Amino acid sequence: MTQQVLYCNDVDATLNNIIGGGNYNAVMVLVDSNTCKLVLPQLPCLSNAHIIEIAPGDENKNLDSLVHVWQLMHNAGATRKSLLVNVGGGSITDLGGLAAATFKRGIAFINLPTTVLGAVDAAVGGKTGINFNGLKNEIGVFAPASTVIVSTCFLNTLPHRELKSGFAEMIKHAMLSSQKQLFKLLDFDLSNIDYEKLLEMLKSSVKIKENIVAQDPTEQGLRKALNLGHTVGHAIESLAMEHGKPVPHGYAVAWGLVAEAVISHLTLGFPSDDLYGLARFMRENYGAPSITCYHYDRLITLMQHDKKSRDGEINCTLLNKCGDFTIDNTIAPDTMKNALDILRDLLGV
């Protein structure tokens, strides 16, 4: 399972070269209504492609949308020699990757992430999926894109909160790397984006993930480290969806990172200075989740149904320190409740 990751801002020419050298009998492009309007006009090489458009938002990363994509691929005469280009954020690359991986038992696809979150998380590493029965990414397969094109030239089309959403995943990668990497990101000014500096940080972040994925492409061991922050984060995200008040994925991950850093501090001695620095940055840039102690039991149930759960237990990746992590940690419900209390205190709920 390999994929090529290219870093460039001449995206149209790069994409045109890839398509021209592929001898594809049909090229389809998956977009949402936002990327169709804001990004597709900047990619004339796709002017003759079959356009498949869905509604934006993670809530549309579902079975109905997957069937819709399959149907339009079929209508376009797609075969196993066809290509799907996924242009958008993580919802598009997750959904499009699953559609391509399952249609005709698998066709080639390219991911062109237009968000920070898509670039550092969803588009790279070969995970695809849709939400099902209220659970995040419940249905999916491991299937890497043949090529991922990472660029900053579309990031100015993003709402600011979407850019911040992706930055939380970059912080996760930094925590898995070193304290130096973490504080480099915590010193970055999210209110005044330096895009040149951000591109270099994107490269570093993607390389951290690529290094882990290369050693464990199907998440049998080491790759589980990339779930840092996601056990709690996915539960908060699912709860928000249940209440009809969805939150950006990266915001939920940001809160999850603080909660799991709290557990790491309580159980493994994760440094308090790193915890407080992380919590301060998250509080200033992401606020706090809308949870109270009355939500704890439901959050714990959601964690117990997470894909990482074993026999209904809560499973987390934890840190001894930045760059020194342990996977498959079973967390007692009372410990999780204590961590959620401290999370709310640290974030000023």
Q: Where are the beta strands (DSSP E) in the chain?
A: 4-7, 27-32, 50-54, 83-88, 108-113, 130-132, 135-139, 147-150, 314-321, 324-331
Res 2: pLDDT: 66
pLDDT digits (tens, 9 = 90+) for 253-276: 999 999 999 999 999 999 999 999
Res 349: pLDDT: 67
Q: Which residues of the chain have pLDDT under 70?
A: 1-2, 122, 349
Q: Taking the domain 4-158, which CATH number applies?
A: 3.40.50.1970
Domain boundaries, the chain: 4-158, 161-346
Angle formed by the axes of helices 179-186 and 272-286, to 10°?
30
Residue among 304, 318, 229 nearest 269 (CA): 318
Res 1: pLDDT: 53
Query: Domain 161-346: which CATH class?
Result: mainly alpha
- From the centroid of its chain, how far is CA 342? 25
pLDDT digits (tens, 9 = 90+) for 167-188: 999 999 999 999 999 999 999 9
Q: Compute the distance between CA of residue 88 and CA of residue 148 in angstroms, rounded to an integer.
A: 12
Q: Compute the distance between CA of residue 184 and CA of residue 202 in angstroms, rounded to an integer.
A: 12
Q: Compute the distance between CA of residue 26 and CA of residue 84 in angstroms, rounded to an integer.
A: 9
